Structure 1
């Protein structure tokens, strides 16, 4: 009887999940139900799958609308009719084509062509002859008008139309209808008081009993008979069998021959002397692949990879597909499954019904090109075939309401002011977005706010729009529209209205074509290294670049200007570089050192603070341990406690012996700890006695959506029953189950971890042997864990000078300029030496290179300047490439039509410092010279010189540069500790540090000035980190004594009783206009002997004594002691404890430039929240675990910046 039911997939209209809709229908005694969501088919697969559980026969349909007006309701007679409905809707969603209007001849003919579907037209349809598949729907409220309508004379064309949107008829009171009203208000982006009535469903749109329906249509019983007859002709079913494209080439036989041939060729390439077990494994896999019907699936993936390789795109094949030897031989993956003893059945098994899937990563710059290849190959987008020609589409996701979003949308709908919405959605905590805020839970809310909170809870989990799967594509045998409608997001590739889970239920194999930044920075770094001229490492006496190693630190050759992807000269002496020679990388001692010490910033997947900490705790030096580390860092393993147990067993062989024998026998490689997804299969099969299909169902079922399915619950019950029958110790099965459950929070297949480890090795090799090219590439790919500033800090550690953008040197992004360059590039690609006699050219020359030729420089890109438009960047680069470098400000303004504000930004960013003038002088000149109308297309042969006026002395403050950089670049290029009040003591004194070379040179006026940080290599007898604090009269150190010394300066002034004392914080009471911070940390980077001296008192420091100020280097000598540490914030990660309290983990750079970590437990995190980037003073206790030291923080204090001198004192 019910032809027109809406689920919550009628976005911001329906409120019931498909299963809830079926439950309500069953309660009302409904035997047949049609799901007809508005322009949406996402709910159909679940609806069809679940209907049998409620003894309901499902009918699939779509409701077509024009704005709020109903056009018609389409009902599929069968699966082909369902495809016709999808093809009718898809052009509208793909390209915005108008839906057929049944009131026109053409529109009616279009509906008639969909001969395997019925169309229910509204009662308001003008009288005309209906086609055989058309009917007029009559609602109960329209029955009183029916006798007076021309349609009354044609009863055979009429059916009962009973829309369903709500559980029950609640009217205007609390319940489903109000939720619907609020959703419609959100959809219209209006206020609920202004919502038009036509936007709403009828409050009576709910299920009714059969008696109620027959009573409503008692005067027109033929309408009910017509409706029943129509529904009896509609059937829809999905059998779940393989729906992926069955043939790659011409036929199955050709595909089979090709797969065997290519696999055998790959086997000989991968294993020149293949052992019999390898051959046997290959034959076994090929047999399973053929029996399961996956030949075309492998060939399609191989084709995608080969196309990418032909285009020069890097890729990584990962996921469970890396468990396959055939995939390894075909080149889809680069992980040796024999070496790692990977479990093929994790990928494909005859016991598994679900399809496999490969995860193939490409660079974020290349992925869309791969997408285009796939869609061009498998889709025919010609107008003749329309959406029926689509055999490939992206997979959708559903964006659901969460607390913060629901409250904000509802608050706007009812007209709450923004501050109240903020209070309700976020509360006082910055981490309150995922659950009801403190304000929302209080009793101090008015009725409107209470309603917002109440309805927000109802909306949580409800889908309200489509998203796009990160990389999933389906390639189908039949048109994609056979399974769902298509829509087109802004990027332009078609997306099917199905999520991953529905695709699996329908038997659609998903191809994961993903993107990541790691491959982008590897490719860019390799290109830069390949352009580096000079003798090869072999000629230098080292290992060759192919197969592995490059020059060591400090051996960089001099070269011309080298800019990422913009070098116009073909440098001599290019070196072949094989970045895929992982076997050599595994033996590289430099890589082992980076792993063991956790010096992995910038390296793919191993750079986060948590991962660096784990590497040090495990003392990782080899590939297999890195593979394990890549998996146990995942939330699924880490949060269950298995990561800690793995670390303990890895470092203590005695603990391994005490591990449960049953699990140790199953997983000896991981010390009896479940680390990989394969371990779940092994434990479920060997420990709990489940068959492989049940074991795989258990592995897959650890998701919120799947865990509620009956088949999963049955497996859970069998798991415990089998464990009891096997006689496992009491409590052990429950603990094993808990560990398996943790994998719901994501874990990796072993092959997936192994693939990531391979990419990590590639990054590590580049960092170990070409650190500057590597860090420039990482900075230019925007996707690392840290900010650009910190990657530039890493480049400083490796000897680079970081330069502000320059219009004559910088490219769009960061670029590397090698030391010793004495040339300037002209527009005709010739190299000319700048003559010293030409003062203007000489000024230009000295900006472009280090005058002493000692440093490699990294120039920030013009696009790194905030507020500088992309148009301005391209104008500057285009003009410079055409006509050469700019000579001065006047030349720049004459050649490039810069708006005044854009020119001012360039001056303030330091991009015109090559002129030799200060910023105040340049800004004055700019005001006089700026006249965009005078710019010519090709430049004038003779330029009229503008007479420069006599200016008074214009003061320039170096500190002002830092504030300009903070505003325009987002971070200062100078030492940030020098920006803190009293911070002169934080930095190393340049005098007295014999031979020390700074990491950044002064940009103006100081020829040969030494930089702020020393180079890391070659400094035998390296400088220590601290001086004696006490006992040496006149000795300078990090802190002076804070107490009992009249007039003494310290890190904080005493908060009470110390009138006029200066310290790190102002007195919180009674200190009118008190000054902050008088820190004289005099020699933060003093000479080695000074910094390594300590006193007996310092060594005997306890928590009851004055804490010692230390640097990261000193932490191992102060374990268990209360200390003070200064740090420039790099990153703070919030985390939630098991009790729901918030804590945080911090990463900081100390005054010596080294990275250290801190932990803030809930009490400290709540009392001392971090307040943005800057320099902090932390007091806490040094803790050590497996060689890694960190600070358990007790007090956090942010140190204020110095005042900007241009605006007076603070």
Structure 2
């Protein structure tokens, strides 16, 4: 990375052009490309050899060549140990049984070489052999000719990559930091011609190559058993599934019993007993730790997953197909997506590593690549351009049209284009964990990123091709809301909250809140667009929410499918079905194939494909297969199957067209159902514990809206939002009774260690008596103390901010900071006698703006009284179709482009009553009246109502001023 310039494909194509029949890949301290290299070479009829080039910085130590898969493991192990311990590699390789070691000339004396060790002789070094003692050592020499680029252009690109990697000017790049110019591929004739006088070296090289072989297949390489025995795994999974069946269903539910039996047979036949059991084991640990989690994705199509408690989605209730998750036709491995709170995920990951061992466990990597403007910034630094000039260059749309023909700029854009999508560095996959049967080093070396869990050198696609099935241990903020709310309720009220999804989804108040869109802060259903959709669909049941979670996605909405669904929801009598069976299968979704499972149903019951083949069709149409030939094959199979069912070709072609039009936008129903479960749980807590819930949302720093709006929502729920207080606040926001105390974490430029020390010291030695007592106990500077005073953290003293600031200045007059310490004697302090000091009417609010970024009062308290609108948000329905003037406080915006590629916006405001106001800004209006940041706006436009949901179609927008600081009141 940041060295070579040839992709695997380009490298192998170059080898084919040069008529090579054997090729060795030895990336520098890296094995990312190994599997792809082996597969590509085999496809082209070239024998692949793999290894690693070991370097400390720019110093080449030795090259390892794997004799076989065991040798590849040895090399990976050596590099992994070095990476794990963050130590320099040894100058000489340790003893290895199945790998060759090639030292560059001068790195090891020939007499000291082991049987498996060689000296690599480069072409320019051949002239040294006849006239030195090296002539006697030819029996320990092999040909060494690295390939780094293809041409002069590739050499230039290589040097730029090296300069970027070194963060240095191109002109300062040393010879040791880059490859030699001769590192291009030679033909066999050229290579043998160069070494022609040294037949012994050629023979050694050929013998070494002949003795090497490497083999990777796509067979399952994941951990094979959970118990240690395949049959015991089968028995255990059966027991757990049947126990869960009794718990989840009534005794005589024959459909569930048959489904469990069928799935167990398929799971066992395809070798996935251990995969289910390991997932169950991970979640058993999480439950014992009281961690909230949600099992989602296609795994929720499995009744076994439901019975094991991996998901809360009942596949029978929702008519979900197991084949969507696992079937004999599926070439890619299935996986469970398990979401945990962002605070708990690392703990769960740590359990997996400790339970299954570091030698068999690793996180998946992703490749961070060079993209877009960042390339120009990097190249600008390499060429020594100042930042303002680089910023100016980035504004250029077409550098080829530069009038002054600036050569450096043209060079930057030319090589920048070549660098696009080059791998830059390894990053960590969102949550993929591999648990292998054999040591993970059989397939890759590992690195140790800051999280201190080893990561592979390959990504999820290589893992899938290799036969390593990932476990997705993911994190999200929504589960943090749930866990923290339950904890806060216990602290604040003493109540223990139990969440039962089956009861929650039937709760009348929860249903009413979904129907009215009262869902701020709730996972997946809080955005203005989602709340609008819930109101338009009058959503008050689980299945409708599942559908809404699917059709809200960008692809569906922009295709017009969402509006079509809403229209059909309100006018079901207008729907025309192509076939009676389609009405039976799609009546729930009004004839729209909302879900991928709908595609499978239609293909199975009408076209006659078996469920496995139907899932293949679904995958093909979702873009999983690429290429016209493959799609044509899928279509032919579909039409032929329809003919066997007796359908005429015109019907079959129309059915194909309808499936094709829906399938690109359809979503996994099980995925949406899993989302809906968490949405219900969040909404239940918001419904019955709104203050604690909003406090939890604030503390998890995640959601569609800003922190300011969540404080506003807390006020709307009846809470009093208080500034930080040294005697009540913690580092994170807390709730005491009806009061929510802002956490110290929200204070700009305030040090974390001080924010954490304040509650810790208070808990240890009691409340702070006054400012002086606080200064004695907490080490901080005057600047940090002034932040606390200005935000009101010492209001319990009864003194004004100005008096407190004067007191603080007096205490710090001889030193910029105070280190706390016990006083032998309590000295009497003299109180300052100050003249009356004036303050602003809105001084607290403006200090909050400056220190928090928003006020803790109702925003409209800061709007001059002479600005009023015609109506408020809850009156809009009465003014449908009429022009009105409204005043709104800006909250959020969602931008999108029209079919003409013009920018338009959907904005969200609150009115003077704190109610939500949604506005539409079409391109002409938005261009003439753009958004100008946070604050109040006068909005003029027409009230439009769609399916009972009002919006303001804005044709005029003006930002309004807040009250001025000059408004003074006397404060004694």
Q: Establish whether residue 740 from structure 1 lines up as the match of residue 663 from structure 2.
A: yes
Match of 2:914 in 1: 1153
Deviations 1:20-65 (A, max 9, x none): 2222222222222122111111111222222233222222221111
Deviation at 1:724, TM superposition (A): 5.8
Q: Measured at CA, do residues 1138 and 398 of structure 1 come closer, stay the same or move farther in structure 2, by a change above 3 Å?
A: farther
Residue in structure 1 matched with residue 388 of structure 2 by the alignment: 419
Corresponding position of 1:233: 211
Q: Does 1:47 align with 2:16?
A: no
Distance 1:221 1:128, change over 3 A: closer
Q: What is the CA distance between 1:874 and its match in structure 2?
A: 2.8
Deviation for aligned residue 1:738: 5.1
Residue in structure 2 matching 1:973, options 845, 853, 856: 856
1:469 and 2:423 are equivalent in the alignment = no
Q: Distance in 2 between matches of 1:195 and 1:703?
A: 47
Query: In the alignment, which residue of structure 2 is the partner of 1:797?
Result: 716
Match of 1:717 among 605, 615, 632: 632
Distance 2:417 2:503 in 1: 56
SS at match of 1:489: coil
Task: Name the SS of the counterpart of 1:373 in structure 2.
Answer: helix
| 1:333 pairs with 2:216 | no
User: Equivalents in 1 of 2:60, 2:225: separation in Å?
Assistant: 42
Instruction: Write the distance in 2 (CA, Å) between the matches of 1:420 and 1:663.
Output: 62
Cα distance, 1:224 vs structure 2: 3.2
Query: Match for residue 392 of structure 1?
Result: 361
- How far 1:795 moved relative to its partner? 1.1
Question: Of the candidates 99, 116, 137, which is equivalent to residue 154 of structure 1?
Answer: 137
2:60 aligned with 1:70: yes
5 Å matches for 1:21-100?
21-100=11-90
> Aligned pair in 2 of structure 1 residues 666, 720: CA closer, same or farther (>3 Å)?
farther
Could you say what secondary structure the match of 2:486 adopts?
helix
Shift of 1:665: 6.1
Matches within 5 A, 1:77-156: 77-102=67-92, 107=93, 110=94, 113-129=95-111, 130-156=113-139
SS of residue in 1 equivalent to 2:318: coil
Q: Which digits, 9 at most, give the CA deviation of each residue in 1:587-643, with x for residues without a partner?
A: 222111211121110011111122112212222110001111112222343344333
Structure 1 residue 143: Cα displacement: 2.3
8 Å contact kept, 2:51–2:75: yes
Q: Identify the residue that residue 211 of structure 1 maps to in structure 2.
A: 189
Give 2:683's match in structure 1, choosing from 764, 780, 787. 764
Measure the CA separation in 1 of the matches of 2:401 and 2:705. 38
Mark the CA change 1:220 to 1:1122 in structure 2 (over 3 Å): closer, same or farther: farther
Pairing 1:291–2:206 present: no
Give a deviation string over 1:802-854, Cα, whole Å, max 9, x none: 11111111122222222xxxxxxxxxxxxxxxxxxxxxxxxxxxxxxxxxxxx
> Which of 306, 317, 326 is the equivalent residue of 1:348?
326
Q: Measure, in 2, the Cα distance between the counterparts of 1:1164 and 1:1183.
A: 16
Counterpart CA distance in 1 for 2:164 and 2:364 is 26
Contact 1:360–1:514 (8 Å) recurs in 2: yes
Say which SS state the counterpart of residue 229 (structure 1) adopts. Answer: helix
Residues 340 and 474, structure 2, Cα contact 8 Å, conserved in 1: yes
State the Cα distance separating 1:498 from its structure 2 match: 1.6
- The structure whose RCO (Cα within 8 Å, separation 6+) is larger is 2
Q: 1:597 aligns with which of 492, 508, 516?
A: 516
Residue in 2 that maps onto 1:956: 839
Preserved contact between residue 609 and residue 638 of structure 2 (Cα < 8 Å): no
Which position in structure 1 is the counterpart of 2:889?
A: 1128
Distance in structure 1 (CA, Å) of the matches to 2:920 and 2:174:
54
Q: Measure the CA separation in 1 of the matches of 2:900 and 2:124.
A: 54
Question: In structure 1, what is the equivalent of residue 645 of structure 2?
Answer: none
1:1181 touches 1:1192 (CA, 8 Å); kept in 2?
Answer: yes
- In the other structure, the counterpart of 1:1028 is none
> Does 1:502 pair with 2:417?
no
For 2:176 and 2:119, the matched residues in 1 are separated by 20
| Match among 971, 977, 984 for residue 864 of structure 2 | 984
Match of 1:583 among 477, 499, 502: 502
* Cα distance change on mapping 1:966 and 1:134 into 2, 3 Å: same
Q: 1:735 to 1:190 in 2, by over 3 A?
A: farther
C-alpha separation in 2, matches of 1:50 and 1:645:
46
> Partner of 2:827 in structure 1?
944
Describe the SS at the equivalent of 2:343: coil
Q: TM-score, normalised by structure 1?
A: 0.75
Q: Distance between the aligned counterparts of 2:956 and 2:401, measured in 1?
A: 30
CA distance in 1, matches of 2:872, 2:661: 41
Deviation sequence 1:842-889 (CA, Å, 0-9, x none): xxxxxxxxxxxxxx2211112222222122223321232233222322
Inter-CA distance 225–1168: structure 2 relative to 1 (3 Å threshold): farther
Measure, in 2, the Cα distance between the counterparts of 1:934 and 1:300: 55
User: Match for 2:947 among 1182, 1186, 1203?
Assistant: 1186
Count of equivalent residues: 957
Give the root-mean-square deviation of aligned CA atoms. 2.7
The 5 Å alignment of 1:1110-1121 reads 1110-1121=871-882
Give the drift of 1:1202: 4.2
> 1:487 offset after TM fit, Å?
0.6
Cα distance change of structure 1 residues 191 and 264 upon mapping to structure 2, 3 Å threshold: same
Closer/same/farther in 2, CA of residues 16 and 1159 from structure 1, 3 Å limit = farther
Question: In 1, Cα distance between the equivalents of 2:187 and 2:923?
Answer: 55
- Three-state SS of the structure 2 residue aligned to 1:144 is helix
Task: Report the CA distance shift for 1:861/1:342 in structure 2 as closer, same or farther (over 3 A).
Answer: same
> Which of 757, 776, 788 pairs up with 1:906?
788
CA contact (8 A) 1:640 1:739 kept: no
Call closer, same or farther: CA 1:1198–1:27 in 2, change over 3 Å: farther
Deviation at 1:663, TM superposition (A): 5.8
SS of equivalent residue, structure 2 residue 339: strand
- Determine the C-alpha separation between the residues in 2 that align with 1:228 and 1:738: 57
| Structure 1 stretch displaced more, 474-483 or 1187-1196 | 1187-1196
Which residue of structure 1 lines up, in the alignment, with residue 562 of structure 2?
Answer: 643
Mapped partners of 1:811, 1:230: distance in 2: 67
Equivalent pair of 1:650/1:671 in contact (CA under 8 Å): yes
Change (3 A) 1:471 1:179: same
2:346 corresponds, among 361, 368, 379, to: 368
Structure number with higher helix proportion: 2
Shift of 1:1124: 3.2
1:405-804 correspondence to structure 2 within 5 Å: 405-425=374-394, 427=395, 438=397, 443-444=402-403, 446-531=406-491, 533=493, 574-579=494-499, 581-657=500-576, 667-682=586-601, 696=615, 699-700=618-619, 707-708=625-626, 713-722=628-637, 727-728=649-650, 733=656, 736-737=659-660, 739-742=662-665, 747=667, 749-804=668-723
**Is the Cα–Cα contact under 8 Å of residues 919 and 956 in structure 1 kept in the other structure?**
no
C-alpha distance after superposition, 1:137-163 (max 9, x if no partner): 222222223323433323232222221
**Alignment partners' CA distance in 2, 1:602 and 1:440:** 46
Distance in 2, matches of 1:599 and 1:119, equals 67
Tell me how far apart the structure 1 counterparts of residues 178 and 89 of structure 2 sit (CA, whole Å): 22
* 1:279-318 per-position Cα deviation (integer Å, ceiling 9, x unaligned): 1111111111111111111111111111111111111111
Q: What is the distance in 1 between the residues matched to 2:216 and 2:960?
A: 64
- Tell me if structure 2 keeps the 8 A contact 1:687–1:723: no
Once the 2 structures are TM-superposed, how far is the Cα of residue 1185 of structure 1 from its aligned partner? 2.4
Q: Output the CA distance in 2 between the equivalents of 1:45 and 1:690.
A: 35
Provide the C-alpha distance between the structure 1 equivalents of 2:211 and 2:202, rounded to a whole number of angstroms: 15
The structural deviation recorded for 1:73 is 1.8
Q: 1:640 to 1:689 in 2, by over 3 A?
A: farther
Q: Quick check: 1:684–1:719 contact (8 Å CA) kept in 2? A: no
